[in-house]
Amino acid sequence: MTWSITGIKTLDEPMEGTIVIASFSVTDGTSTVSSDTKLLEADAENFVPLAEVTEEQVVDFVKAALEEQADVFEAMVAAKTAAVEPQAVDPLPWNN
């Protein structure tokens, strides 16, 4: 599963550029589930300035905030991929 950050929202409290909400997507290459979550309170001792934060770090913040629900999102992606999807018919039969 691949986790991506699609957006962030910040506040300047308790520190300037504190990420408080992250939007994310989880994909297996076939199916994708997207959502957002409120992150856990920033840790002043391990604070990473906004200009230096990486996507990998924010993904870790999201997973920490979601706790066991991170597994639920991955299961939702797997279930979408495993579901039988109807196939599009192209060209349409009457256009032959």
Closest CA to 19 of 72, 51, 67: 51
Range(s) of the domain holding residue 50: 2-95
pLDDT on residue 46: 87
The per-residue pLDDT string of the chain (96 residues; one tens digit each, 9 = 90 and over) reads: 999 999 999 999 888 999 999 999 999 999 999 999 999 998 888 899 999 999 999 999 999 999 989 999 999 999 998 886 778 888 888 987
Predicted confidence at residue 17, as pLDDT, reads 93
Residues 37-41: contacts with CB within 8 Å, 24+ apart? 37/62, 37/65, 37/66, 38/65, 39/64, 39/65, 40/64, 40/65, 41/14
Q: What is the pLDDT of residue 52?
A: 95
Tokens of 38: 């409120």
Q: What is the DSSP letter of 30?
A: S
Whole-prediction pTM: 0.82
Domains contained in the chain, number: 1
